[in-house]
A and B are shown apart, each in its own frame.
Chain A
Amino acid sequence: MSDFRVPAGDPDGLRSVVTRLSRLSETVGETRSSRLRSAGQDAAAGLPAARVAAFAGARSDASKATGAIGLSLVAVGGALVDYADALQTAQQAVRDAAARYDDAQELWRQARRMGEPELTERYRQDMDRQARRAGTAQADLATARQRTAAALNDETEVWAPGAGSLAPVEAWQRATAAMLPPTASIDPQKLKELFSNPDVTLARETATNAVKGAAKSYALYGIVNYARSPALSARAEAKLLKARDLYQSLKGGAPDLDDPATYRKYIKAERAMLKAYMSDNPADVMRAQRHFRMLRGMQGEARALANVARAHPALTPAQIRGTAGRFDKLMRPVRAAGPVVARVMGPVSVAVGGYDIYTAATDSGMATDDRWARGVGGAASVVGGVATTLVAVGLVSNPVGLAVVAVAGVVAVGAWAYENREAIAAGAGKIAAGAKKVWKGLFG
């Protein structure tokens, strides 16, 4: 049966969206990235040592994110342009085929009325040809539709795993949650309101407030990220096993690949398995990579690699380096400065922290919770400064030492204990207790 329905859609409208996406991509991937680099360098230059490592880590995450988001916008724009071109081609081809079909049909009717069998047959063949042209145009569009759907789905998967089939608002919520630990997440209801709100000014206010609120609990970002790597790895392994089982059960059943439905199912299972395999990263590899990323900022690339290789002798240097990301080279100057900064600033942090502890202990004019918060912050600075110095000069390179840096760095860089002492008093007490235990374990 002929399908002369002109495919719905506005190719020019899609291209106009792509033009604006392209500008947004430049803004995020270049302008914002560059401003983040410059503001981050300024801040890092003014920070005491205990705060530098955690600050550089968070800034590196944000810097990579802006670059990758810029590329993602380009990829979405590319998929939409591809679809817009295919849509326009299909619309033109179907319109043209429909018009020619109508002409041929009119001539076929006349020829039949006049009793001209040869002409009747020729015009009937013309009609068939135009019907086939329309069918081919529809099929080409269907192919482009599949290609575009796969590309868009891939981009969704990058930021919001498993959200391809969900509503856009859920993709929005999931992408935010996927990049932040639970302690720094934004209230899902607020995110939903933000997504649904058409009033840009109001949405901007809501977003700014939500972002600021979430940032206050961001202090645990680094340590939570480190702690959750085995869990993420276990999930990836489970996903791989499930996909592999499905694939093997299909393959073992000698599937009839001539049957389109079986073939689609088989290809889908094969892709799922390969995808899970590509994303699989055993727990020890993830640990080693995180260990390496934390060390190299303070010890430099070569020494950090050597230290981590000693702790993980079964892994190759490439596995330890892992997929550092397309924007890794941007951080090279910062990493090159890291070891020098750490050596110089570590002792300074000890002095500044010591002064905090001293004033907390002796300044009776301060409120009790102020003194408490300053004391915790000071202790963290001292611990962080000592640990940073030890790591920088190569005396500590194991995960326990890193835990000290993480605990101290997290407490100190956030230092929301100072601004939000009432809200986090209980949590900060636990962190301080943890820091003490690690300290005792390390230094007796």
Chain B
Amino acid sequence: MSALASLGGVWPRKFNQERIVVVITCGLVVLFSLWLPSFRTASNLIALVQNVSILGILGVAMALTIIARGIDLSIVANMAVSVAWVLQLSNHGVDLPIAIAAGFALAVGIGLINGLVIAYLEIPAIFATLAMASAAYGFVRAFLLQDNLVYLKAAEGTWFKWVGSGQIFGVPSPVIALVVVAFFAFLALRFTVPGRFLYAMGDNPAAARTAGTPMRPMIVLQYGCAAAISFVAGVVMATAVDSMETRVARSNLVYDIILVVVIGGIGLSGGKGSVRNVLVGTMLIGVLLNGMTIMDVPYTLQNIVKSFILLAAIIVDAAMNPRDEQTSQQGDI
């Protein structure tokens, strides 16, 4: 780590990780465009963004927590169970708006519990949210859901269905959802006081506390927001494929989300990065997956490529954002 950290010192200032990823992404786009004629069509590029839009929305949620030196491993489980519950309620005759409100309340409730446990019981976020992922899944599965796989039946043909499968001027609605979520997160992080607090908390928690940042309420707010955003991602996912499979809570999706966040250049040590970094990381993964699918690269090989990129990104992250010995504390990643 120290060798890497010293490497970070000599790293040219203008080559930050975000720019490196932008360059790599553009390089891949050029390469694929020359090589694969079907890659460079406008419709494929739209499909490319659409395919990673859910990942991008979840990436924004994850970024909020990582910027403030936290992490939320429960967002995937949270969106799976809360949105599955919405579908089940509506299939059993509950009015759609009430079903959605109930699911949203469930999602935010889980997020707030995360925040309370982390802020007031001072359990490190990585453990608290890891446990919450299982606890929320188990609780909802045992007491609220009848099946793991819930089909979208009753909400067929409503505006709700449109959220994941509609279009405006040829732009698929999941892309619009990503843009909207990213835009609001950008505004919140850049221009609001709580948004600036998140950076302060991530950069130097002790100093932020001394300076008067309401640390504990901010942590609760932050995990509540992450949960709310992941609910939106879940709605997009469920309405795009007419079903919600809660098994996704057990999948590797949460690691893919950390992947796009870290690749984009949001340091795991907190205090750095913005929504733009998430979008950049998401685009790189999108371009890679799209290109490899067009080339019909075998599934196993695709996973190997993806994991090597994560490894490279973490190494670069460690070099560019060395752990700050003065402010690091137990439980930091």
Say whether A and B bind each other: no
Partner-B contacts on A (CB < 8 A): none
